[in-house]
Amino acid sequence: MPTPKNDFPKPSVTVDILLFTVVENDLKILLIKRNLAPFKGSWALPGGFVLLHESLEEAALRELKEEGNVDNVYLEQLFTFGDPRRDPRSRVITVTYLALADSSTWDVRSGGDAGEASLCSTKKLPTLAFDHRKIVDYGIERLRAKIGYSNIAMGLLPDEFTLTDLQKKHEVILGQPIDKRNFRKKILSTGIVIPTGKKSDGGAHRPAAFYKFKSKKLIITD
Amino acid sequence: MPTPKNDFPKPSVTVDILLFTVVENDLKILLIKRNLAPFKGSWALPGGFVLLHESLEEAALRELKEEGNVDNVYLEQLFTFGDPRRDPRSRVITVTYLALADSSTWDVRSGGDAGEASLCSTKKLPTLAFDHRKIVDYGIERLRAKIGYSNIAMGLLPDEFTLTDLQKKHEVILGQPIDKRNFRKKILSTGIVIPTGKKSDGGAHRPAAFYKFKSKKLIITD
DNA sequence: TGAATAGTGTCTTTCAGACAATATGCC
DNA sequence: GGCATATTGTCTGAAAGACACTATTCA
């Protein structure tokens, strides 16, 4: 690797974030309405320039906070898109991140200083700016694959949850029903969740046991 | 994403490539001896700045050609490293690539205009410049995982090969012997290879059937 | 006691892994 | 025949998937 020269023409570097959350029976993603050209008025992924003093992850977290008022998310790097013509103005390389949030503890409307922010169903996405549609498709694919062999669903749930809660998140992401008995057998055999001893109450039915994830780090279970 | 301004301070962007190849019973990686500060005299990964008109993949292929005289490699994006202090001079973000080459059809010594190039055993790596050691460790981990559930080993072999050839590549990468019968059963059941009808000759022993990969694209087999 | 959700066990099939004998070609 | 490598099948244990009934709480 040669020495960087200050006069070397440089591309710009951004981060763009796919923030997924499951609401009711829908996999949703955070989008921002652009109020600047190009693609003014179009929806786009939250994101922005990487500042010189911050890491890529820090940039992603900062943008999520600024544009979506989101804190406390699971975050992992997805892919870096660098086609020379992906931005019509100039060369922009974007490092994309997959983020997951628990929809029950966060309201998108309370943030958003960069434009209108909205949670949009992944089933009927509007036309997106730049190559963001391709990025979203790639992220959904990764999320679907990874939920099958890791504890990544922890990003979508509060600290305490029932096995039915967990199963519903899986079903929404995979887009198909799962057998309750087989699901529980598999989840419990991996040991990624442990019972907290508490039980749900209030419903006119049998209370459910609460569980929590044993580790807050990503664990690959096969 | 805001509008990029030309006066916005930008990081530099490089690509660095992990070119693996299996020689005899050894997993080797291409390294370049730096002839410029910093880390002058140290070994480092091949790589360099991304030019404004080329994609990230094109940059990686160009650097491989320039620094290692390598053509015709399998290439996949690995990870983007962006810690603000990973380069002591200035902010440099590097997009890393995993590349695989068939050692039987390529000689590292014939290339290398950027400094001395060498294939180095991953078992006894020298001290590497920057954060390149961390990158190498990450790449080996990814390669080991991926060889178990994909046809990625195709990058390490010529067009025609025997099942014993293929098994040896797996054994070197995993660092442990594999049962021949189970290996063949599994490989053949995935259907990623098909017999060419030809047989090896010349050895003082029973000839082996040649196979080829059915697809030259990456296939995930489970 | 009816409504609603929680929780559980068996059977079958599939796949991974341990394990050894026969086949073929060349000298 | 002797040597060197190629090729093949069985058994066992584990895990995945199909499938239905009982348990608990509250109104």
Q: Which residues of B touch A39 (CB under 8 A)?
A: none
Residue B72 confidence (pLDDT): 86
Neighbours of A68 (CB within 10 A): 26
What integer pLDDT is reported at residue A36 of this predicted model? 87
The reported pLDDT for the residue numbered B104 is: 83
Average pLDDT, stretch A4-31? 89
pLDDT at B111: 53
Contact B56 A9 (CB under 8 A): no
Distance between CA atoms of residues B42 and A175, nearest Å: 51
- Residue type (1 letter), B32: I
Is residue B141 annotated as part of the catalytic site, yes or no? no
Q: CA dist B43 to A94, A159, B14, B64, Å? A: 29, 46, 17, 16
From the list B54, B58, B116, B160, the catalytic residue is B116
pLDDT in tens, chain B (222 residues): 555 555 679 999 999 999 999 998 999 999 999 988 899 999 999 999 999 999 999 999 999 999 998 988 999 999 999 999 999 999 999 999 999 999 887 777 655 556 789 999 999 999 999 999 999 999 999 999 999 999 999 999 999 999 999 999 999 999 999 999 999 999 999 999 999 998 888 888 999 999 999 999 999 998
Could you tell me the distance in Å between the CA of residue A186 and the C1' of nucleotide C13? 17
Which DSSP string do the residues of A155-178 spell out, in sequence order?
Answer: GGS-SSEEHHHHHHHHHHHHTS--
Pairing mode, strands B43-44 and B12-23: unpaired
Predicted local distance difference test score (pLDDT) of residue A111 = 53
**How does pLDDT run across A62-85, given as a tens digit for each residue?**
999 999 989 889 999 999 999 999
Among A17, A32, A20, CA closest to A128:
A32
Q: Do B80 and A56 touch (CB under 8 A)?
A: yes
CA to C1' distance (Å), from B185 to C20? 16
Chain B, 72 to 131: residues with Cβ < 8 Å from chain A are 77, 79-80, 82-84, 87, 89-93, 95, 114, 129-130
Give the helix/strand (H/E) hosting B96: strand B92-100
The three-state secondary structure class of B123 is coil
Query: Whole-number Å distance, CA A208 to C1' D23?
Result: 12
Strands A12-23 and A26-33: antiparallel
Average pLDDT of chain A, as a whole number: 92
pLDDT at res. B103: 86
Q: How confident is the model at residue A8 (pLDDT cuts 50, 70, 90)?
A: confident
CB B73 within 8 A of CB B155: yes
Please give the model's pTM, rounded to 2 decimal places: 0.93
Task: Tell whether A50 lies on the interface with B, counting CB pairs under 8 A.
Answer: yes
| Per-residue model confidence as pLDDT tens digits over A152-209 | 999 999 999 999 999 999 999 999 999 999 999 999 999 999 999 988 888 889 999 9
pLDDT value of residue B114: 60
